[in-house]
Amino acid sequence: MKRFARVLLPTLAITLFLQAISFIVSIYFNHSLNNQIIFGLVGSNLIAIIVSILILVAVIFIFWSDKYLFLLAGGILSNILDRLFYYGVVDYIQLSFWPTLNLADIIIFLGACVILIKTIKKESR
């Protein structure tokens, strides 16, 4: 139960923070709604939600013992909620060399990098 609380509370905090940003951006700022997943591989919002939920469950199952799981889970959950509330992920960060993205995408990427680096360091010992 302790482990569950250590994962759930930070995950919910990140998710709520990211959802607040999505809400504010969707009302006040220029943004785009992305109903695809991973560089446009899926065109249906429903399929993207199902795939995202399956990925979230797999990530939780695989990385349950990792203390940085909350980064991946919070980012993925926030994108799922965007899809449910706005019928697409609210993207608002535009870089000239990369497709438009959001803070949840960055948090997912950072979480994956931290877990990958930790795993590589652990394996090299």
* DSSP for 59-76, written as a single string: HHHHTTT-TTHHHHHHHH
Residue 87 per-residue DSSP state: S
Backbone angles phi, psi at 32, to 5 degrees: -130, 150
Q: Give the pLDDT of residue 25.
A: 95
Q: Give the pLDDT of residue 34.
A: 84
Which one of the listed residues 82, 91, 92, 103 is annotated catalytic? 91
Q: Give the pLDDT of residue 125.
A: 76
Number of neighbouring beta carbons within 10 Å of residue 81: 19
Give the pLDDT of the chain (125 residues) as one tens digit per residue.
787 788 899 999 999 999 999 999 999 998 998 877 766 666 688 888 998 999 999 999 999 989 999 999 999 999 999 999 999 999 999 988 888 899 999 999 999 999 999 999 988 87
Instruction: Give the global pTM.
Output: 0.89
Which one of the listed residues 105, 107, 108, 115 is annotated catalytic? 105
For the question of residue 82 being annotated catalytic, the response is no
Q: Indicate the residue type of 46.
A: L
Angle in degrees, CA 40, 25, 96, rounded to 5? 50
